[in-house]
Amino acid sequence: MMKKTEVIPGEIYAIPLFLPTEDIKENLKNYKKEKFDNRGREFVFCRIIDDKGGSGIFVEVFDQIGTLQEDIQSIINSPRLFSPISISGLGISKGRWKKIYTQDNYDPERESNLSKIQLVMGRGEDSRLWQNGIEKKISETEAKNYEQWIVWTPTQLEIRIKNKLFK
């Protein structure tokens, strides 16, 4: 059984844009000994909003490219690249993503609108909009306006980020 990844709301991680993403096995490679100190502006940043246990970890990804020494205020004052999503803990537990800060006195509701996060569960006629623990049935057409509640792996998210930033 795999050990649960421990995260704290307000932690900020640097997500590298230079690691391989082509093979699903990349998600399991251990990067804990890699420091990435010699890299330049090759990272984007995410903040932990809430740990949903087996349903993933809610994060927001910021629309900012920078270094591992990027200023915390410039990161958290950046807009989101897209709406909050749910991730697996593999990027964190395997050291692929580097923790660079823990934001003091972070309030998930005040700073990330935790109770307003909306994700679609199910597909087609079974689509339901989840918000703050409450689900309501929505149409397949309506569902297209929201993030699907899937648990993104590190490589899936890195590909999505690169596609959003560079295409």
Residue spans of the domains in the chain: they are 11-114+150-166
| pLDDT tens track, the chain, 167 positions | 456 789 999 999 999 999 999 999 999 999 999 999 889 999 999 999 999 988 999 999 999 999 999 999 999 999 999 999 999 999 999 999 999 999 999 999 999 999 999 999 999 889 999 999 999 999 999 999 999 999 999 999 999 999 999 98
The pTM of the whole model exceeds 0.85: yes
Radius of gyration of the chain (CA): 16
Closest listed residue to residue 46, CA positions, set 18, 70, 21: 70
pLDDT, residue 5, reads 80
pLDDT, position 120: 97
The helix (H) or strand (E) run that includes residue 4 is none
pLDDT of 2: 57
Would you state the pLDDT for residue 3? 64
C-alpha closest to that of 13 among 36, 141, 25, 2: 36
pLDDT value for 167: 81
